[in-house]
């Protein structure tokens, strides 16, 4: 399956195909021309997919690898100089190509390096986690974390192409599949009732995997569409934030130790829908349907935190301007709306 993100001269293809990894060296060689290639990956992903990729590319191109420890701590701002040094040591020039091979951490980190090294070099995304395949590899947002918080230094950097091989999910720890499902369910909630019903209908993860190409394609297509319409994240793209305002607050409240991002989003989607349903803005029964699907995939429904304890964290939301927040709510499954209100709106649900 091939999708194209239409951005004029910055347009790029997204290929989604089981076994695509085998064709990847050829596709990269073609895209990179005669330039050099740097594979950026982490110490989980590189041994499984990076070694073979590197060897295959090395037949035709000069290629270096930069492997960082896995996990969010590698997305620190102060790791960037190490990447720049390795790129300089590899004599990478402006026309050369960085490959991001890994989950969202690697996509964001390698993307930041590609956006800034020598004022920008080419980037190819090869996302290997569910979250990266359905979300972070598409859209061109890249970022690193500062000591003060997550994703506080970033850039827009569109890749030359995105190569998605759903078979790589077979080696992913199941807890990261669950985590990614938080975002997949979100896409169904905001834009696609059929996807939502489909997800509700699978008996187990095996069933899900039978249809994973189609599911990833649907999610990527939704993100592609939203991104094309709102390249710089000022309007419609907000819909991708469904469940995120409260979700981020929950993640932050527990210092990112108790709930993963997808779990935070799950709790956030349920909580905001409880509130909007109570206000009569959402079709009755919507929250119950969301809760069914979330628990079906092992996602949490609530954190058991008093909502007043989350107010501080919500104030730090990047999209909070003068205590004016834009919440994404559902009119019904597959149909969202934006609602401006204060952070105190969350108090309408006492415990989240
Ligand atoms: N730029 C964006 O638009 C955007 C959107 C959403 C999230 N993000 C960022 O994405 C990051 C989270 O991404 P993530 O959940 O993919 O985390 P991650 O990159 O840490 O990957 C999760 C874990 O799975 C391992 N892994 C990845 N693919 C594997 C595979 N195929 N086989 C075996 N192990 C594999 C990784 O080594 C890691 O330990 C966060 O930093 C978040 O801020 C960015
Ligand atoms: Zn998210």
pLDDT digits (tens, 9 = 90+) for 43-53: 999 999 999 99
Residue 230 has pLDDT above 90, yes or no: no
Q: Nearest residue CA, atom 34 of ligand 1?
A: 172
> Which residue pairs from 75-81 have beta carbons closer than 8 angstroms and sit at least 24 positions apart in sequence?
75/105, 75/108, 75/109, 75/143, 75/144, 75/145, 76/144, 76/145, 77/144, 77/145, 77/146, 77/153, 79/109, 79/144, 80/109, 80/112, 80/113, 80/116, 80/144
Report pTM.
0.95
Compute the distance between CA of residue 217 and CA of residue 133 in angstroms, rounded to an integer. Answer: 9
The ligand with the least distance to the CA atom of 187 is 2
Say which residue the tokens 């004016």 belong to.
Answer: 324
Of 105-109, 298-302, 317-321, least confident by mean pLDDT is: 317-321
Q: Nearest residue CA, atom 14 of ligand 1?
A: 104
Return the beta strands (E) in the chain as ranges.
Answer: 2-5, 12-16, 37-42, 63-68, 97-102, 122-127, 141-146, 149-156, 161-164, 325-332, 335-341
Q: If you average pLDDT over residues 89-117, what whole number do you get? A: 98
Per residue in 154-188, pLDDT tens?
999 999 999 999 999 999 999 999 999 999 999 99
Q: If you average pLDDT over residues 129-153, what whole number do you get? A: 94
How far, in Å, is the centroid of ligand 1 from the Cα of 259?
15
The pLDDT value given to residue 149: 84
Is the distance from the beta carbon of residue 129 to the nearest atom of ligand 1 less than 6 Å? yes
Is the distance from the beta carbon of residue 291 to the nearest atom of ligand 1 less than 6 Å? no
Q: Nearest residue CA, atom 5 of ligand 1?
A: 136
User: What percentage of the chain carries pLDDT values higher than 90?
Assistant: 87
Q: What's the chain's Rg over C-alpha atoms?
A: 20
Is the distance from the beta carbon of residue 141 to the nearest atom of ligand 1 less than 6 Å? yes
């Amino acid at each position: 399956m091939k999708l194209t993100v239409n951005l004029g001269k910055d347009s790029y293809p997204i290929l989604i195909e089981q076994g695509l990894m085998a064709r990847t060296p050829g596709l990269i060689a073609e895209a990179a021309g005669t330039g050099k290639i740097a594979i950026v990956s982490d110490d989980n992903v590189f041994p499984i997919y990076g070694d073979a990729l590197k060897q295959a590319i090395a037949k035709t191109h000069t290629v270096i690898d930069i492997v960082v420890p896995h996990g969010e701590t590698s997305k620190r701002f102060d790791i960037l100089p190490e990447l720049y040094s390795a790129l300089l040591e590899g004599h990478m020039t402006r026309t050369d190509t960085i490959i991001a091979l890994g989950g969202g951490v690697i996509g964001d980190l390698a993307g930041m390096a590609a956006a800034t090294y020598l004022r920008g070099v080419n980037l190819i995304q090869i996302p290997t986690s569910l979250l990266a395949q359905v979300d972070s590899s598409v859209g061109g947002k890249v970022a690193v974390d500062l000591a003060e918080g997550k994703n506080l230094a970033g850039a827009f950097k569109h890749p030359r192409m995105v190569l998605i091989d759903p078979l790589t999910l077979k080696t992913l720890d199941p807890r990261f599949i669950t985590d990614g499902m938080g975002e997949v369910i979100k896409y169904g909630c905001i834009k696609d009732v059929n996807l939502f019903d489909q997800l509700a209908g699978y008996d187990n993860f095996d069933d899900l995997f039978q249809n994973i190409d189609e599911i990833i394609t649907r999610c990527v297509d939704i993100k592609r569409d939203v991104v094309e319409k709102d390249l710089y994240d000022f309007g419609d793209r907000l819909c991708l934030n469904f469940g995120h305002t409260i979700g981020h607050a929950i993640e932050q409240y527990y210092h990112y130790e108790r709930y993963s991002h997808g779990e935070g989003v799950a709790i956030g989607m349920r909580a905001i829908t409880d509130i909007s349903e109570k206000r009569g803005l959402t079709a009755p029964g919507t929250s119950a349907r969301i809760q069914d699907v979330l628990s079906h995939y092992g996602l949490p429904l609530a954190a058991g935190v008093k909502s007043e304890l989350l107010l501080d964290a919500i104030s730090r939301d990047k999209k909070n301007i003068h205590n004016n927040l834009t919440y994404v709510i559902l009119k019904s499954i597959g149909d969202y709306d934006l609602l401006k209100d204060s952070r105190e709106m969350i108090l309408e649900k006492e415990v989240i």
